[in-house]
Amino acid sequence: MIRRLRALGWSGKLALLGVAECAAWVSGARAQATPPGPALKAPIFVYDSGAAPDGHSADALANNEEAMRELAEAVRLERVGVRWDGFMMDGQWFAPDGGYRVWRAEAWPKGPETWIQQCRAHGIPPGLWFATNTLDGMSAATAWKDSLESDGRAMSMFEGGFLTDFMAVLQQWYDRGVRIFGLGLVDLAAVTTEGAATLSREEIRVRNAAALGKALEEFRKRNPAAVLLVVEKPGLGASGSKEPGMTGGLAALGGLGVFDLVSTGPAPTADAPEVSLQRSLDISTDAAVRRLERSGIPLARIESPGLVLGRAGNAAGGNADSARDSDHDLPRDRGRGAWKGSLLLELARGGRVDAVRGDLELIRDGDAFWMARAQRLFIGLEARGGMDSFGGAPDGDQAYGFAGVTARGAIYVAVNPGQAMATLTMPEAAASAPGRVQFRDAGFAPRLSGNKLTLGPGEMAMVGYGVFAQPRFNFGVQEEVVIPKSIEPVPAQFQATRPGVIEADIEPPMYGELRVVMRRRAPQGSGRTAPGDARQSGGPRDETITIEATQNGRTIPMRVDEDALAWSGIHWAVVEIDVNDLTPGLSVRVQFRANEDADKLVGSAYQVEY
């Protein structure tokens, strides 16, 4: 999947963008349905100092000390086989008034030269993310002001002096050793007041794309070792919602030979009610990728947030799942190491840029070898045909997956986002080639029969066929995520009792555990739950969801993902109650409080057995 860019050297032979190869890994019909455009010959695997996929993050401001520490960790991992095709510095490296030429002095008192030199010394190409023509955390340079929109938020790229000056900035950094250029937040709708008076929205997009495409094509000819990653900023659709632009602008960028990416968004959302916040984030990222794919964008050109280490929801070394009562801290509640499933999903999505963010020190010993093996597996799949999606809609609680099918065999990475067992049919699996589950969560063991896979609620698994069914492709069991062996609905009539509160009296099951789920009610006629917004907030506790379970006035201990409850904006919660903590024959009152109108909330209950 990931070709070693630096193996081609620094002498102008580093992998270039602009080769139209989509048809080599997608069907002819699909290739005809998508905009023309190039693809990297192989995806690249980068460490990114930021926390957002398009290179900007308000809470991830790297400094010189942190960058050098993570570079040392990247070198350590590389020695055991982990691939690094670049070290990207996120979009907040620049001084607000420096026009992308000056670094933040408080974080980089001596500038970036040591970091750039050390990256090159270790054969890891340094890269920089830019907010391109969007003023994100900075003011307009003098040369940009005649390109400004009326609201001062972005610059037109076909009017005024912005684009000429911006390309001079890129040249400056190339001359100083930077080799990967991430152009995030590309706003193809930006226009000056004069341009807006005479041009349609579509004409504006096409002109911006043509201007940027031509400038980057010329830059690439002068600097053949440059790698250009262009991420278009989502525009506003007719309904006012953010959506990627797939009109003439994107087609023009692709047609001019500039590799274009469309981002799923600057931060993941968590829409799916799951015991693990990490699994919810993974499912919601998959849903965003599939929505873009359905709009006509190939998987290879979709950029997702990637793997984050050490942050809430992706805490490889943190306590992502915790119990309110320490006496009920079961192994499945400790949430350490769930990054492995996330990494396999990131690779399986097939995007041409795979990023790792966060603390690389958390990847130790055998885990480093595991990561290297996962990279090698998907490198081979990409080289032999690439990835494709199959199954239902992740945001509709339907089982789905991503497939890599080759002449030697196939790999399928599948997920069941629902609160019930689900059976998924995997396409193109040869009946004569027996399959094998090569990675799974703990607890319920997925059942494989031919090309049909049965998964437990919230479960993720990887299946290999043909050569990929051999034991050497076994990636083990993810002990940190435990799936129940059975799940059955339990009657629960939740009622709104006061603003922001729903509650129900539930007859407890005779054995196992009582799982109770609260989620936001779907808009009428939609057939699904409404998504939440899982951007983490530092707001007060009363902005989050609180839960209480009582039996005959006695407070009952619950297992709950505290990280999920602390994420302001998530409109769901999942709690579990051990029946051994309950008095038989007495109903349990479960109450949810949320910063939401009670009539927008709905609850359900299940009996689960581990």
DSSP 408-475: SEEEEEEE--SSS-EEEEPTT--TTS-EEEEEEEEESPPEEETTEEEE-TT-EEEEEEEGGGSGGG--
Specify the pLDDT at position 257.
Answer: 55
Mean pLDDT score of the chain = 81
Name the nearest CA neighbour of 62 among 5, 126, 122.
Answer: 126
Specify the pLDDT at position 560.
Answer: 87
Task: Give the model confidence (pLDDT) of 515-537 as tens digits.
Answer: 999 988 765 444 344 444 433 33
Q: Which of 176-180, 254-258, 310-314 holds the top average pLDDT?
A: 176-180
Grouping H, G, I as helix, E, B as strand and the rest as coil, residue 488 is strand
- Does 421 share its domain with 366? no
Domain C-terminal end among 484, 504, 527: 484
Confidence of residue 331 (pLDDT cuts 50, 70, 90): very low
Largest CA distance in the chain: 78
Evaluate whether 228 touches 185 at the Cβ level (below 8 Å).
Answer: no
- Does 595 share its domain with 535? yes
Above 60 in pLDDT, residue 452? yes
Above 90 in pLDDT, residue 482? yes
Task: Give the model confidence (pLDDT) of 156-201 as tens digits.
Answer: 999 999 999 999 999 999 999 999 999 988 999 999 999 999 999 9
Instruction: Compute the average pLDDT of residues 116-143.
Output: 95
- Does 337 share its domain with 432? no
- Does 461 share its domain with 603? no
Helix 113-121 vs helix 64-78: crossing angle, to nearest 10: 0
Following CA atoms 349, 350, 355, 356 in sequence, which dihedral angle do they give, to the nearest 10 degrees?
50
Instruction: Compute the average pLDDT of residues 459-464.
Output: 98
Confidence of residue 89 (pLDDT cuts 50, 70, 90): very high
**Between 292 and 454, where is the model more confident?**
454
Q: What is the pTM of this model?
A: 0.84
Range of the domain at 76: 5-386
**Between 239 and 380, where is the model more confident?**
380
- Does 502 share its domain with 443? no
Query: Residue with structure tokens 């984030």?
Result: 281
- Does 363 share its domain with 401? no
Specify the pLDDT at position 258.
Answer: 61
Following CA atoms 248, 253, 254, 257 in sequence, which dihedral angle do they give, to the nearest 10 degrees?
150
Above 60 in pLDDT, residue 474? yes
Domain C-terminal end among 354, 386, 418: 386
Specify the pLDDT at position 337.
Answer: 58
CATH of the domain at 521: 2.60.120
Task: Give the model confidence (pLDDT) of 562-599 as tens digits.
Answer: 777 766 556 789 999 999 999 999 999 999 988 778 78
Q: How many Cα atoms within 13 Å fall on the side-chain side of residue 276? A: 36
- Does 275 share its domain with 358? yes
Dihedral over Cα of 426, 430, 432, 433: its sign: negative
Above 70 in pLDDT, residue 311? no
Confidence of residue 22 (pLDDT cuts 50, 70, 90): very low
Question: CA–CA separation, 487 vs 173, rounded Å?
Answer: 56
Confidence of residue 603 (pLDDT cuts 50, 70, 90): very high
- Does 338 share its domain with 472? no
Task: Give the model confidence (pLDDT) of 128-138 as tens digits.
Answer: 999 999 998 89
Above 60 in pLDDT, residue 472? yes
Confidence of residue 40 (pLDDT cuts 50, 70, 90): low
Which residues, at least 6 apart from 212, have a Cβ–Cβ distance to it below 8 Å?
157, 163, 186, 230, 253, 258
- Does 466 share its domain with 521? no
CATH of the domain at 420: 2.60.40
CATH of the domain at 380: 3.20.20.70
Residue 522's Cβ-count burial label (10 Å; 0-12, 13-18, 19+) is middle
Instruction: Compute the average pLDDT of residues 394-412.
Output: 93
Following CA atoms 344, 528, 489, 595 in sequence, which dihedral angle do they give, to the nearest 10 degrees?
90
Evaluate whether 435 touches 429 at the Cβ level (below 8 Å).
Answer: yes
- Does 476 share its domain with 509? no
Specify the pLDDT at position 432.
Answer: 56
**Between 304 and 369, where is the model more confident?**
369
Instruction: Compute the average pLDDT of residues 237-255.
Output: 45
Q: Which of the residue ranges 228-232, 360-364, 368-372, 503-507 would you say has the lowest mean pLDDT?
A: 228-232
Task: Give the model confidence (pLDDT) of 532-570 as tens digits.
Answer: 443 333 333 445 788 999 999 999 999 987 777 766 556
- The pLDDT > 90 percentage for the chain reads 57
Specify the pLDDT at position 58.
Answer: 41
Specify the pLDDT at position 488.
Answer: 97
Instruction: Compute the average pLDDT of residues 70-79.
Output: 96
Specify the pLDDT at position 332.
Answer: 34
Helix (H) or strand (E) holding 489: strand 486-490
Above 60 in pLDDT, residue 256? no
Domain C-terminal end among 343, 359, 386: 386
| Whole-Å CA distances, 282 to 151, 233, 308, 416, 534 | 36, 22, 11, 11, 12
Instruction: Compute the average pLDDT of residues 251-255.
Output: 54
Confidence of residue 236 (pLDDT cuts 50, 70, 90): very low
Specify the pLDDT at position 295.
Answer: 83
Confidence of residue 235 (pLDDT cuts 50, 70, 90): low
What is the token pair recorded at 281?
């984030």
- Does 458 share its domain with 478? yes
Helices and strands (DSSP H and E) totals, the chain: 11, 31
Name the domain count of the chain: 3
- Does 479 share its domain with 499? no
Specify the pLDDT at position 269.
Answer: 65
Which residues, at least 6 apart from 409, have a Cβ–Cβ distance to it below 8 Å?
433, 464, 465, 466, 467, 468, 469
